[in-house]
Structure 1
């Protein structure tokens, strides 16, 4: 039994290549190799470069700066006949080796829409894997940053689509043909983003009018809205309707005007917060939430104006004549709110009192006019706020 084990170890030792053989292989492959000349024995045939992409994380997407940053790695593969060898000459099992990116010809992909400066994919001291048949595998990881103009029309229920563009400078389709390994990203190593959910990815190659191929790495994502609903939309809606209580606040308290201005300032603060989070450009559209808050501020300003007018009604002297339109409005208010309880034995007496009230115009005071005006304003502004919110949410959810 022991003899068999030694025999197997001997066979393994015979078939295992040594470090000297690998050094000899690399010296042979790289001796006289010119990395400035693209692969291909037949110069009339372009080099076929296959590209894929592994997405690891969506690092950042900034609507204000128009920037997207992702962490990932390209998968680049091509055939270089000058780097092929016979494994039988190197221990019979030397089928692959590693060389530096800067030692051989590689397709140097450059970002066509960079956020900062032009940057190529890969570093000179990164390793490429060589196969005995001349196949080269290169998987450079990096943080990839590009520009991306956000469409914030439906913020915070928006969906965004960004493309990172890459091409090989100095080569057209007569020299290099770019093929896609897959039409989508590899998401096996992806770590979900807390703010954005990636709903789709695509990897395509487009040839422009100069016969230069451009790789499109496209990411489609939708915003996670739980935080915005709880921390933005609900407070805004609640503040809008709290503002209506100013017409129920007793005028004797003297706090009506201060209450209205305070709530209006709170709405203005939310408008400022939203504007700080959104780009300053007006294209393709301004956020619908900005328009909604603008209408809320207009309605709030109208409430302040109504409060001032109502306070003037309350503090007017009863010696000043009440206009007919205000008198008619007040009569409707009194009929709806001051209906006395009727007893069977008092029907005749109440009927006579109604006739006396209708004939006595001086029974309506400016205080009654102020109360009627408050009810009308409460109903009018309540309807305005409800319609503003309904129009906004219907517009949002129809699009979604």
Structure 2
């Protein structure tokens, strides 16, 4: 029984060795495939039929999202497949060679061009990327790229804001009747994604649409939500504490002389936080300025009013007791405490 098993194993190894193709086989195959191949012509013997391209987008990481410039940088790749009958062969004629890889610059590629770049317009892939070709003529292209795109930020709810950013592509030079892109997944594939420290991906979408000019747009969209724990502990809680402290300035005894210094110090602290937040937020935001910006401005204005009241209280305290109270102060308190024609004196 053991001899039978060993003999069977030996035959299988020997059969596998006989069927294995060599470097020379693959070289001959590549020469045969690329002889007379024109990479500027799209696949398809019958030009009346369009070429279908199947693709999926895999995201590796979100590298940076600068709200001031609207620059979103991420790394990912398109897993793209199509059929090119010029690259099919009979594997039996090439010592069972059933696949090979060819540099992308020697084959026809679906020319994905980014149309919302942050700086210069670029196509996908580079000379280091290779296309895997099978004997059936199926080409598989992993177009790895670090993409920099424009994403207009809406910081109305900062730091509890969510952003929607898109990658937009054309297959340049072809109409939808000639080349059609089909997404194999309705969402971005995140199996290789590394979490970002600032942003969470709430949802994603991938789809194509025909624009006003009749060209097909390939769109990859992300709904991003900011991680708020850092901003709550380092921003919201401190400024809320400062605003509460400002209200206790009148608890200090007037003779101590610390009211003015205390209120001024708290006011300067609020102004400092306002300066820090202004550095985080973009100068232009649609549709509105951040709510927290309005809150900080109100804190500054109220702090300034309290400082003025502290100065006035010192002024009134230093006045002679025989000097009558100014009429505008009397009128103010009468308006505040008047009820049904009667003045309520506290």
TM > 0.5 between the two? yes
How much does 1:320 deviate?
A: 0.9
Counterpart of 1:170 in 2: which secondary structure?
A: coil
Counterparts of residues 172-211 of structure 1 (less than 5 Å): 172-211=175-214
- Consecutive unaligned residues of structure 1, counting only runs of 5 or more, are 331-368, 373-400
Cα distance in 1, alignment partners of residues 332 and 111 from structure 2: 83
Q: Which residue of 2 aligns with 1:314?
A: 317
Q: Which residue of 2 aligns with 1:335?
A: none
In the alignment, does 2:17 pair up with 1:13?
Answer: yes
Cα distance in 1, alignment partners of residues 25 and 332 from structure 2: 108
Q: Residue 153 of structure 1 contacts residue 285 of structure 1 at CA under 8 Å; is this kept in 2?
A: yes
Cα distance in 1, alignment partners of residues 332 and 135 from structure 2: 99
Q: If each structure's helix is expressed as a fraction of its own residues, which one has the higher value?
A: 1
Counterpart of 2:190 in 1: which secondary structure?
A: coil
In the alignment, does 2:303 pair up with 1:303?
Answer: no
Shift in CA distance, 147/321, structure 1 to aligned 2, threshold 3 Å: same
- Name which of 60, 66, 69 aligns with 1:65: 69
Cα distance in 1, alignment partners of residues 126 and 302 from structure 2: 59
Cα distance in 2, alignment partners of residues 72 and 166 from structure 1: 14
How much does 1:124 deviate?
A: 2.4
Q: Which residue of 1 aligns with 2:92?
A: 88
How much does 1:143 deviate?
A: 1.2
In the alignment, does 2:136 pair up with 1:133?
Answer: yes
Counterparts of residues 1-400 of structure 1 (less than 5 Å): 1=3, 4-92=8-96, 94-322=97-325
Cα distance in 2, alignment partners of residues 242 and 296 from structure 1: 11
Cα distance in 2, alignment partners of residues 53 and 173 from structure 1: 20
How much does 1:59 deviate?
A: 1.1
Q: Residue 102 of structure 1 contacts residue 125 of structure 1 at CA under 8 Å; is this kept in 2?
A: no
How much does 1:279 deviate?
A: 0.6
Shift in CA distance, 167/267, structure 1 to aligned 2, threshold 3 Å: same
Cα distance in 2, alignment partners of residues 102 and 149 from structure 1: 34
Q: If each structure's strand is expressed as a fraction of its own residues, which one has the higher value?
A: 2
Cα distance in 2, alignment partners of residues 62 and 224 from structure 1: 15
How much does 1:5 deviate?
A: 4.6
Counterpart of 2:233 in 1: which secondary structure?
A: helix
- Residues 67-97 of structure 1: per-residue CA shift (max 9 Å, x gap): 11111111111110100011111223x2211
Count how many residue pairs are aligned between Structure 1 and Structure 2: 331
Cα distance in 1, alignment partners of residues 332 and 129 from structure 2: 87
- Residues 335-372 of structure 1: per-residue CA shift (max 9 Å, x gap): xxxxxxxxxxxxxxxxxxxxxxxxxxxxxxxxxx9xx8
How much does 1:10 deviate?
A: 3.0
How much does 1:235 deviate?
A: 0.3
How much does 1:98 deviate?
A: 0.4
Counterpart of 1:286 in 2: which secondary structure?
A: coil
TM-score normalized by structure 1?
Answer: 0.79
- Residues 96-126 of structure 1: per-residue CA shift (max 9 Å, x gap): 1100000110012111011121111001231
Q: Residue 56 of structure 1 contacts residue 190 of structure 1 at CA under 8 Å; is this kept in 2?
A: yes
Query: Which is greater in Rg?
Result: 1
How much does 1:12 deviate?
A: 1.9
How much does 1:255 deviate?
A: 2.4
Counterpart of 1:77 in 2: which secondary structure?
A: strand
Q: Residue 56 of structure 1 contacts residue 189 of structure 1 at CA under 8 Å; is this kept in 2?
A: yes
How much does 1:323 deviate?
A: 6.0
